[in-house]
Amino acid sequence: MKLIMAVVQDKDSNRLSDALVEKDYRATKLASTGGFLKAGNTTFLIGVENESVEEVLTIIKDNCKSREQLVAPISPMGGNADSYVPYPVEVQVGGATVFILPVEQFEKF
Ligand code: 2BA
């Protein structure tokens, strides 16, 4: 068994969870925040049998779009001056950042 952890943009999260439910995959959605943009994103935890990993990756690929995002300069006031970016920068975000981890044991009580 594997645990697929997928960080996706909030805009894609409903479509992705609908697509997973439609194919009968179970998933947990966690509200998360990107370390760089400090903007909300969604992390999916999807536990699947090994033979289903490829199908789930295809569902993620088909439902998560890559987008350009302009990052406005944010005042370092009250924040960390080390991460202050003084000019707007454009970054390419997503479609999805995916980690696949082995599951040692799975129990449901
Ligand atoms: P963020 O950390 O907010 O990053 C958003 C986008 O900003 C990234 O898109 C990337 O294009 C850019 N970016 C991130 N760090 C950067 C840096 N140090 N310098 C320049 N540009 C940078 P994605 O790569 O598609 O990542 C989307 C989100 O996925 C990330 O949001 C983060 O929440 C997660 N993520 C990405 N890589 C990760 C990793 N290795 N471990 C854990 N989470 C990760």
Give the model confidence (pLDDT) of 34-66 as tens digits.
998 889 999 999 999 999 999 999 999 999 999
User: Does 83 score more than 80 pLDDT?
Assistant: no
Q: Is 9 in the pocket of ligand 1 (CB under 6 A)?
A: no
Strand, coil or helix: what is 34? coil
Give the model confidence (pLDDT) of 9-20 as tens digits.
999 999 999 999
**What pLDDT score does 109 carry?**
96
For a mutational test of ligand 1's pocket, the pick from 80, 92, 97, i.e. the residue with the most ligand atoms closer than 8 A to its C-beta, is 97
- pTM assigned to the model: 0.87
Q: Is 7 in the pocket of ligand 1 (CB under 6 A)?
A: yes
Of 30, 59, 48, 52, nearest in space to 102 by CA: 48
Q: For residue 32, which atom of ligand 1 is closest to its CA?
A: 33
HSE (side-chain half, CA atoms, 13 Å) at 30: 10
**In this structure, which residue's CA is closest to atom 15 in ligand 1?**
36
Residue type, 94: G
**What pLDDT score does 64 carry?**
97
Average pLDDT along the chain: 91
